[in-house]
Amino acid sequence: MNEIYDATKDEQFGKGYIDIDEMRIRKLDDGRQIPFRYMHGGFEGTPVKFSFCFPEAEDYEERFYQYLSPFPGPEEELASVAVTGIDDKIAFCITHGAYYVESNMGSGAVFTNSDDNTMSYRSSAATAEYSRVTARKLYGYEHRPYGYVYGGSGGGYRTIACIENTNAFDGAAPYVIGSPYAIPNCQTTRAHGERLLRHKISQIIDAVDAGGSGDPYEGLNEEETAALREVTLFGYPMKSWFASVDLNDGALPVLLPGVKAMDPAYFVDFWTVPGYLGADPESSAARERICMDTDVRLRYVPGRKVQLLEEKENEKVIDTRNGVNDAWKKMISSSGEDLEPWLELTQMPVPAAGDELYLKGMILTVKSGKAEGKKLQIGRIEDGRIYLTDGFGTDDITKTLELIEAGDAVHLDNSDYIAIQTYHRHQVPGSDYHAWDQFLDEEQRPLYPQQQTLVGPVFCGNGPGCKQNGLPQGRIIICAALMDEQAYPWQADWYRRKIAAAHGGNDVDHCRLYYFDNVLHDDITASVDELHATSYIAGLKQALIDLALWVEEGVEPLPSSQYTVDVGHVQVAASAVERGGLQPVVCLRANGSKCAHVKAGEKVSFTAEAEVPDMAGSLTFVEWSFEGETDFPEKGEWELRDCGQRGMATAEHVFEKPGTYFAVVRVMSERDGDKTAPFTQIRNIDRARVIVE
């Protein structure tokens, strides 16, 4: 069993200080202005900085919530200060009897900790303990505030590290979490599927959408069928393919250099050793590989933006990207150009017959001249020009172009980016990770050559400084997204089973796991596509409230969601009562069907039937979008029954022009049925197809 860390005995954090102490006002969307005490400080002799936000004494209920971002950074303790609206973590805390805590976790640079990987959880625990000291002084009486730590994705790893390895916290709420083998395997499987299916994504989306055929494999060739089956069995949710339209592989470009540093032999073996996809000259990987030398004929260097210098000369700009889907973007280099920079080369890459150029992850390396050794990310090729874009581990575009001259030799290469896309096949872990079962034969032997290094635990351990052991030192409520495209949903179940195994099969006394449907990995209320996905953040905040009640008053939270796991695919029941959890469930029909055929100008009747899980609250709001409006302009009313647990709403709409439309209904529920509660309106959506002739 791990030794439990006690920050109060660590001399490294023995000298805390406060360098800012002032009253501030938090403005809520409903017009309320909430005063709070803001403090900023750190620990002498360390790079650790923190922010505390305390409510007025009459609103204080002796607790705090401490947020851990996915990646620590030098000013991370300031990242939440500027956030407003529903996503305002500080306002949520001070209106729920808690003070807010955030730190930079001891990091002096973006995307890193320090040479000591335990710094993340140790500094977080030390910050929590110093906040208690500060709270006692501020409120003027002796007490120990209850402490709850929470964070998602990379912050979820750190949250688990804190609750398992320190005694500073009474509870934790990790969300959209990964297993020890999540990185880079979730990213590689998605990238592999996107590369092979990029011409068929639209038909896959249509098949699984409301009123579709239900068969996403229809029309796929053998290679495409295998790719879709592989990524689906690994856990990529079928309904999440709409998020792959732009072929955005998330953090994979950021992860690739780390994988190559740990396992450089793989990137040679992939192209040379039988059993690896790239070694087959007939494979898609070989066909789409670009690895060529040429030289520069012409360059274009755009002017730099000067807005920040002109308008904010004396104002320090804090990067507020500290969420699960944008914190990693701080690592992408950017020159701030106002126009796209480009190069013309004497020889351009040419696609194989019947194919198109695959440019994802393609790097241009300068081989001669003043810019020798510089690397640039290629974005697209158009009209004989190579357009450059921001990238990870690449050089400043403008500065590099200013050095490049006509005749300089360059090398174009996408080999590593194609190679990493099937890395997961060669990283089969133990039998507890069923997503890899598809890569085993009947005798449970790997089908593909295996690398000596299993890099997943290295990545996942380097951030939080430890592996999950299933032995939390407090209560845990896990929130997971059923459409999670970055940390596949089965991994939350993996951690729940880890806790159960560590406690003789009993997870109920220690944790809850709530799945949320129609939500992605992101942790802001505004979804990247309001018509395909919604947000779980109100559910997370309700979980934080329930966690405090569980710890402080012994009030049992609602049972975990009911679900099954088929290899890597998480399935839930259709009804809210059977599904359980916190989220309402809604079914939308157009003229009584998921797909209605009508004439232009004909009235269409819509019916939304919704229900809330037992004891999870009452329906509050219902909103409609009929022709692609993302703000759901049509507001409806419920016909409620069973004390608001169930309801029906109806609407009518006339489509004046022919075409295919998707009507969307968005519903909300709240634990007390309170329509004025700003942070706990838990959402869900549903869609119906209308074909207008």
pLDDT tens string 276-302: 999 999 999 999 999 999 999 988 777
Give the pTM.
Answer: 0.93
**353 vs 304, more confident:** 353
Phi, psi at 436, each rounded to 5°: -90, 0
Continuous H helices in 140-278: 154-165, 185-197, 201-208, 222-234, 252-262, 266-272
Q: Is the pLDDT of residue 639 over 80?
A: yes
Per cent of the chain over pLDDT 90 is 83
Report angle CA 39, 57, 136 to the nearest 5 degrees: 60
What pLDDT, on a 0 to 100 scale, did the predictor assign at position 414?
96
Distance in Å from the first CA to the final CA of the chain? 67
Tokens of 450: 């295996």
Q: Which positions ≥6 away from 162 have C-beta within 8 Å?
A: 68, 121, 124, 125, 149, 168, 169, 172
Confidence of residue 494 (pLDDT cuts 50, 70, 90): very high
Instruction: For residues 541 and 587, state if they share a domain.
Output: no
234 burial via Cβ count (<10 Å: 0-12, 13-18, 19+):
buried
- Quick one: CA dihedral 430, 194, 388, 270, positive or negative? positive
> For residue 339, is pLDDT > 80?
no
The rounded radius of gyration (Å) of the Cα atoms in the chain is: 26
Q: How is residue 33 written in tokens? A: 């202005």
Structure confidence at residue 73 (pLDDT): 81
Nearest to 478 by CA among 514, 508, 518, 524: 514
Q: Answer with the one of 413, 442, 475 that is the final residue of a domain.
A: 413
* Residue 323 placed within a domain: yes
**In terms of domains, do 202 and 223 share one?**
yes
Nearest to 663 by CA among 637, 691, 682, 638: 691
- Evaluate whether residue 16 is within a structural domain: yes
Three state DSSP letters for 40-100:
EEEECCCCCEEEEEEECHHHCCCEEEEECCCCCCCCHHHCCCCCCHHHCHHHHHHCCCEEE
Tell whether 246 and 263 lie within a shared domain. Answer: yes
pLDDT at 324: 60
pLDDT at 250: 75
The answer to whether residue 143 is domain-embedded is yes
Between 12 and 306, the higher pLDDT residue: 12
125 inside domain = yes
Sequence-ordered list of residues with C-beta below 8 angstroms from that of 672, at least 6 positions apart, any chain = 617, 618
Query: Residue 346: its pLDDT value, please?
Result: 94
Same domain (yes/no): 307, 369: yes
Q: String of b and e for 94-128 (b: at least 16 CB within 10 Å)?
A: bbbebbbbbbbbbbeebbebbeebbbbbbbbbbbb
Instruction: Classify 207 as helix, strand or coil.
Output: helix
> Are residues 518 and 534 in contact, defined by beta-carbon separation less than 8 angstroms?
yes
pLDDT, mean of residues 601-623: 98
Are 172 and 40 members of one domain?
A: yes
* Distances from the Cα of 607 to the Cα of 438, 588, 653, angstroms: 41, 6, 12
Sequence length of the chain is 693
Identify the pLDDT of residue 334: 47
Q: Is the Cβ–Cβ distance between 679 and 86 less than 8 Å?
A: yes
Beta strands 682-692 and 595-598 are parallel
pLDDT of residue 1: 58
Integer CA distances (angstroms), 536 to 258, 328, 340, in order:
31, 21, 36
> Are 23 and 98 part of one and the same domain?
yes
264 burial via Cβ count (<10 Å: 0-12, 13-18, 19+): exposed
Q: 359 with 257, same domain?
A: no
Q: What amino acid occupies position 168?
A: A
Please say whether the dihedral angle defined by the alpha carbons of residues 259, 264, 265 and 266, taken in this order, is positive or negative: positive
**Omega prior to 449 cis, within 30 of 0:** no
Instruction: Please indicate, yes or no, if residue 561 is contained in any of the structural domains.
Output: no
Residue 18's contacts (CB-CB under 8 Å, 6 or more residues apart) are 39, 40, 41, 134
In DSSP terms, 589 is beta-bridged to: 607
How far apart, in whole angstroms, are the C-alpha atoms of residue 38 and residue 319? 19
Helix ranges (DSSP H) in 423-574: 455-462, 490-502, 537-553
Evaluate if residue 87 carries a pLDDT over 90: yes
**pLDDT at 323 (0 to 100):** 64
Assigned domain for 450 exists: no
Is residue 622 in some structural domain? yes
Residue 94 lies in a domain: yes
Distance between CA 264 and CA 484 in Å, rounded? 30
Q: Is 301 helix (H, G, I), strand (E, B) or coil?
A: coil
- What is the pLDDT confidence band of residue 247, given thresholds at 50, 70 and 90? confident
Mean pLDDT of 386-406: 90
Q: How confident is the model at residue 112 (pLDDT cuts 50, 70, 90)?
A: low
Contacts of 311 (CB under 8 A, 6+ apart): none
pLDDT tens, residue by residue, 157-199: 999 999 999 999 999 999 999 999 999 999 999 999 999 999 9
Same domain, 115 and 204: no
pLDDT at 682: 98
Mean pLDDT across the stretch 503-515? 97
Give the phi and the psi of residue 198 in degrees, each rounded to 5: -60, -25
Confidence label for 455 from pLDDT (cuts 50, 70 and 90): very high
- Give the residue numbers spanning the domain of 548: 7-180+459-553
pLDDT at 317: 54
How far apart, in whole angstroms, are the C-alpha atoms of residue 204 and residue 214? 9
CATH number of the structural domain spanning residue 628: 2.60.40.650
Q: Where are the alpha helices (DSSP H) in 374-489?
A: 397-403, 415-420, 455-462
What percent of the chain is predicted at pLDDT more than 70? Answer: 93
CATH number at residue 42: 3.40.50.1820
Same domain (yes/no): 319, 406: yes
Q: Which residue has the higher pLDDT, 250 or 643?
A: 643
Task: Choose among 491, 483, 489, 573: nearest CA to 529.
Answer: 483
Residues 24 and 151 in one domain: yes
Show the tokens assigned to 405. 């001259």
Regarding whether 523 and 471 lie in a shared domain, the answer is: yes
**Partners of 386 in the β-ladder:** 343, 381
Q: Are residues 470 and 534 in the same domain?
A: yes
The DSSP bridge pattern shows strands 409-413 and 291-300 to be antiparallel
pLDDT of 467 strictly over 90:
no
Number of domains in the chain: 4
- Alpha-helical regions (H) of 79-200: 89-94, 119-139, 154-165, 185-197
